[in-house]
Amino acid sequence: MNDTNLNGRQKKIIDVLKQMGSVSRLALADIVSPDASISRITFIRDLNRLIDLKIVKVSEKGKNTTYGLAETNPLLTYLDLDSYFKTEAESRVVNKNFNNVVFSRLNSLYSPDEIKLWERSKNIFKEAGDKLDPSIYRRELERFIIELSWKSSQIEGNTYTLIETETLIKQNIKAQGHSDEEAVMILNHKKAFDVILHKKDSFKKLDFSDIIQLHQVLTNGLVTSGIRSQKVRISGTRYEPLSDKHQIESVLRQLIEIVNKTEFPPEKALILSIMIAYLQPFSDGNKRTSRMLSNAILLAYDYFPLSYRSIDVNEYRSAMIVFYEINNLYNFKSLYMKQLQFAIDNYFL
């Protein structure tokens, strides 16, 4: 599941640094391998891999060199998904209720290198719009919408194939052996994206009605829209979202205020992509709304939108659950950044 593929020694280095903060290489080696069973070369190789992955950082130079975790924001500390889910849901130590403390940590979510990638993607996206023939650009946009509608629906359990989704969107022909609700879900994605394109600039400053409207379009004909007034439960976790309607609306408005105050647009998008799902303001369609809102923000500021085309559904759901339970964003952000790279490599070329 976790493509970081850290070995046991590397995970132990991380655990030590979590407990001790910054330490010298010699002290770190003594703690990780007190019996010297790990060779110096192997230890240095493990340490360098963690540095390359931006999990560990180096401070000072020479004999004053120390090593510590690269990320100080507790939302972004390294977490191994495979290890985490070895413990069954009933036995995991989790935050069962919505944690308001998370709001104070929704800042500086991207590293300098990640910011550079976002800015490079913006330039690539603009160049594509300038150089592509309008008919080719429209065809590429249609392909993107089809793949987004398919994958976003698949994440929700929709069983349409990509080819069936293309036929449905292009020719309005429903696939045999599928429910009408599955077709509605896919077509609603297309309609929601049309809304985003039509009122693109309005998403630069998010409004409460923007979220309600987008959710309404995404779930039209499937569920009742509007802020929920009943308790909801989420499969695979003991986390329980807020259940009081007035409290949910109040927290949603607080989230909107934080997003509007956030300066870097891709950070706005990342916050919405996880926090709408975490808050669960609606009876259904929360993750769909979070993905589409995230894209609405990206497009409003002329960044590449994300189709989620190559994402592993189970890894995506697992990363979500980790955030619900312990507010760890490391794996979700990693998936999010991979989808940005996928978009750069596969759309509007």
Segment 234-261 shows an average pLDDT of 96
Task: Supply the DSSP string of 51-97, one letter for each residue.
Answer: HHTTSEEEES-GGG-EEEES--SGGGS---HHHHTTS-GGGS----B
Q: Do residues 203 and 299 touch, judged by C-beta distance below 8 A?
A: yes
Residue 247 clears pLDDT 70, i.e. is over it: yes
- Boundaries of every domain in the chain: 8-70, 91-346
Segment 156-166 shows an average pLDDT of 98
Both structure tokens of 17: 């640094």
Both structure tokens of 254: 């607080």
CA distances for 31 relative to 27, 28, 44, 324, angstroms:
6, 5, 14, 33
Amino acid sitting at position 316: Y
pLDDT confidence band for 19 (50 / 70 / 90) = confident
Ramachandran category for residue 65: left, alpha or beta (phi over 0 → left; psi -120 to 50 → alpha): beta
Segment 177-194 shows an average pLDDT of 97
pLDDT value for 63: 72
Mean pLDDT (the chain) is: 93
How far from each other are the two terminal CA atoms of the chain, in whole angstroms? 30
Residue 333 clears pLDDT 70, i.e. is over it: yes
Residue 4 clears pLDDT 80, i.e. is over it: no
Both structure tokens of 323: 């955030």
Residue 1 clears pLDDT 70, i.e. is over it: no
pTM: 0.89
Residue 72 clears pLDDT 90, i.e. is over it: no
Q: Report domain 8-70's class.
A: mainly alpha
CATH classification code of 91-346: 1.10.3290.10
Query: CB 186: neighbour CB atoms within 10 A?
Result: 24
- Mind listing the pLDDT tens digit for each residue in 82-139? 989 999 999 999 999 999 999 999 999 999 999 999 999 999 999 999 999 999 999 9
Q: How far apart are CA 324 and CA 320, in angstroms?
A: 6
Residue given tokens 């394109």 in the structure block: 197
- Mind listing the pLDDT tens digit for each residue in 189-244? 999 999 999 999 999 999 999 999 999 999 999 998 899 999 999 999 999 999 99
